Structure 1
């Protein structure tokens, strides 16, 4: 068996790992590189989507840095099965279309400049037609149901607690050449315990022979979730008292629904004022509808809340509005009335949040609330790092709004939670591969796994490095 780390090696994006065994080739995840817009465009064009000998794809969850390369493979001839949970399949139906729209718009923008320079135009990485075509290959699975997906390869998906439909991947592999049986576990993105909406991550107590493990927060800890709820309450009240607006750049899938639910609870309990709340993100609106379709993934807290709430809807209440048109978004952007605006993208590299920043970032009455990890060199990272003047749509704007950072809403386990998840394994892996983390985080987690938990051999793969198992 051979593993090649085609993505998410010494970086937190582009998750993609090629497994070769029993004359079959399949991918664990199939993600796009995300981050600074120009860098992402160039990196994704350099990434291979050759699919002639690819037999299957196993998808841990729907985030684009884990799923976004699928239509590129379909465009280039892939016709195998794509195994994932049913909720992941439903999310991909809207998220891959949205990604394709962005691919087309980015190429349109770049080609205008290339045309002026007399250069040959680019084609989009893939189109909306490719995204639609890819959906015919998805095979939805339930959690904890073993299934043979290729000769000698059995797959089980276990709830990872990271987002709707997210999964740890268990592969029980019988190498037909050697006769050896190997259990390979891919953590996917590991969620946090005691976070509302979805269930806690399920430990894999039986352990693994080979472990591929994420390390996003391998060197950091989050504050307890209740503390983050209190911080959100404080920030809302302080901002409204100043007569300002609260801008929350948020990922459309997972983070937006989490923040909406928290604001719903605070409003119902009378802990925040009756101020208009807007979700200004078409993708967030569509994915929220999918969240409503999958109550089987909810935890006990949100099920109880739904029984007691008069709206019977954790993602909708009196003061909340989902914008549905460009004109509504433009009117909201030009308004000077206090409001809470939740809008994508979460790293502020595109989307409607940029228009709201243009109109509100220069006012010290307003607040910009960062609730998630910001990739290096993105606009979000610049603002988190305290830069007072930033470029938005090519023009310089002052950042005079108050900037707040609350990390407890993160859907990623922190250092202690990662170690607790790995430490629950009764059988320690003989080889562990640390992925999906910047080098500092990956190194810190690798050291802790080896020194604290006694994991024998811990690798931090380089991009496109291969290992024979």
Structure 2
């Protein structure tokens, strides 16, 4: 649109879903991205990571990164690989975290693609490539530029930005933008991910008032979490830990490696020091979490309760594992112990090996400690699946599965409304993003009365809007959507196929005899032949 007068805002991710955060702003002078994150969830959404960007990467002048979580930063190396060479503006702590998180993401891809290609070669299927390599991440890291909270900086021609502490993660920020116009500048704020008011390691979120446009996350827009103190949270965690100890098996905690793991370590340390739970080994089986913990320790003076974090990280009960052999050795242990492993949604990393080794055990406990996107293995377990498929293998679910959502890094509905209210007046529109349908609908409903209904906009993937002095105007798409709205944040055919295979196996196993099993197989073949005909 260079040469036109009004900026355009495009939504390339986190639209009716909670992953793939990526927004584009094009002005008469420059073109920037806010975030460039990895898609997670169903296989249909994850496949977007391998497809073409909906914009030419080489045409992007700069990136503003709100924080280091992979669903916000994870496609930056791909952006660089495909031609982007501008600056990536973010906070110093975010740069430190990305320096370990992005190489880790590349490493996980390389391992998983190697395993997949081994299976593909055996089955005569085409080989696949990683989204990006370790070299791409190294090149990407050279483009990062540190900005301080509260300081205005020119990030591209005709566009200034400053960061506000979002209270979500070490280094997390909301991004305030000013876009030059012929009269007064246009002011926007992108919330990034907003933290809750009483997060263990972070201060409360901040932000400016009086903006033209507000782009706000809605992860928990439909729910209010219990208002619990840190002591009450630890007490409830202690109940789960003691229950796992009484069951006599391991407590497996799928956890995001960055911040969630460190929060858990602090509370487990305090519980053990107080004598309210057994003193047992706590294994952090995530090289990324190990490296991230070092970064948190380095920034301990800048975060809440940093002194306690230092004590927890030096606890004699804490065991960081690095090698695959050390990871495998954990599952040869018996009795009660604690394992914290990534990924938080159970879709990648070492947690899948621990789940495969323990889900079938009645004495095992799996504590889900955060939001689970639709289609993720974590969500499937929470929804009560009796069998799951992990890395192509069927696993029966007999372990106790529980949700403990008091560590969430996201503000709940009431806190989001309060954060938006503190940003008012919002002269033109509030765009709600980074939420599934229920969260978006819930927050939209709660904002009515504070924001006029016709100024609350819930964009779909790849929607675009012109930001005019009198309000936003939708722009007709110039190319097809990469994923139709009905397929975003939904179980897809890959999930259906996985469940069908589990159901078929269960039905055949339950058949009374060989004759019954043969009859089931004949009926399936008949159905397939009728479909082919």
TM-score range, shorter chain: over 0.9
**Could you say which residue in structure 2 is the equivalent of 1:217?**
220
**Could you say which residue in structure 2 is the equivalent of 1:283?**
288
Q: Does residue 132 of the first structure (1) align with residue 135 of the second (2)?
A: no
**Could you say which residue in structure 1 is the equivalent of 2:233?**
228
Give the 5 Å matches for 1:45-56: 45-48=50-53, 50-56=56-62
Structure 1's 260 and 404: CA in aligned 2 closer, same or farther, altered over 3 A?
same
Equivalent residue for 1:161, pick from 152, 158, 167: 167
* TM-score normalised by length of structure 2: 0.82
In structure 1, the residue corresponding to 2:58 is in which secondary structure?
Answer: coil
For structure 1, which segment, 344-353 or 113-122, has the greater mean C-alpha deviation from structure 2 after superposition? Answer: 113-122
CA contact (8 A) 2:30 2:158 kept: no
Equivalent residue for 1:468, pick from 457, 460, 466: 466
User: Cα distance, 1:215 vs. partner?
Assistant: 0.5
Equivalent residue for 1:272, pick from 259, 269, 277: 277
In structure 2, the residue corresponding to 1:101 is in which secondary structure?
Answer: helix
User: Cα distance, 1:391 vs. partner?
Assistant: 1.3
CA distance in 1, matches of 2:261, 2:172: 16
Equivalent residue for 2:411, pick from 410, 413, 434: 413
CA distance in 1, matches of 2:25, 2:399: 48
CA distance in 2, matches of 1:192, 1:252: 19
Q: Does residue 189 of the first structure (1) align with residue 204 of the second (2)?
A: no
User: Cα distance, 1:350 vs. partner?
Assistant: 2.0
Give the 5 Å matches for 1:34-433: 34-36=40-42, 38-48=43-53, 50-115=56-121, 120-175=126-181, 178-202=182-206, 204-226=207-229, 227-299=232-304, 302-303=305-306, 305=308, 312-433=310-431
CA contact (8 A) 2:29 2:158 kept: no
User: Cα distance, 1:293 vs. partner?
Assistant: 1.4
In structure 1, the residue corresponding to 2:448 is in which secondary structure?
Answer: helix
Q: Deviations over 1:132-177 (max 9, x none)?
A: 11011000111111111122211101100111110000002212xx
In structure 1, the residue corresponding to 2:50 is in which secondary structure?
Answer: helix
User: Cα distance, 1:117 vs. partner?
Assistant: 6.0
Structure 1's 236 and 26: CA in aligned 2 closer, same or farther, altered over 3 A?
same
CA distance in 1, matches of 2:72, 2:78: 13
Q: Deviations over 1:177-205 (max 9, x none)?
A: x4341110000000011121121212x24
User: Cα distance, 1:365 vs. partner?
Assistant: 1.9
Q: Deviations over 1:255-308 (max 9, x none)?
A: 111111111111122221111111111111111111111124312xx14646xx
Q: Deviations over 1:79-111 (max 9, x none)?
A: 100000000011111111111122333433444
CA contact (8 A) 2:214 2:429 kept: yes
Which is higher, the Rg of structure 1 or of structure 2?
2
CA contact (8 A) 2:257 2:289 kept: yes
**Could you say which residue in structure 2 is the equivalent of 1:309?**
none
CA distance in 1, matches of 2:248, 2:115: 38
CA contact (8 A) 1:50 1:73 kept: no
User: Cα distance, 1:29 vs. partner?
Assistant: 0.4
CA distance in 2, matches of 1:164, 1:287: 10
CA contact (8 A) 1:450 1:457 kept: no
CA distance in 2, matches of 1:353, 1:234: 23
CA distance in 1, matches of 2:427, 2:14: 20
Unaligned runs of 5+ in 2: 1-6, 468-533
CA contact (8 A) 1:22 1:151 kept: no
Q: Deviations over 1:7-66 (max 9, x none)?
A: 111111100011011321000001110124x43542211241731211000000001110
**Could you say which residue in structure 2 is the equivalent of 1:28?**
34
CA distance in 2, matches of 1:123, 1:386: 34
CA distance in 2, matches of 1:205, 1:92: 26
Equivalent residue for 1:5, pick from 3, 11, 19: 11
CA contact (8 A) 2:25 2:32 kept: yes
CA distance in 2, matches of 1:88, 1:281: 19
CA distance in 2, matches of 1:229, 1:107: 39
CA contact (8 A) 1:450 1:456 kept: no
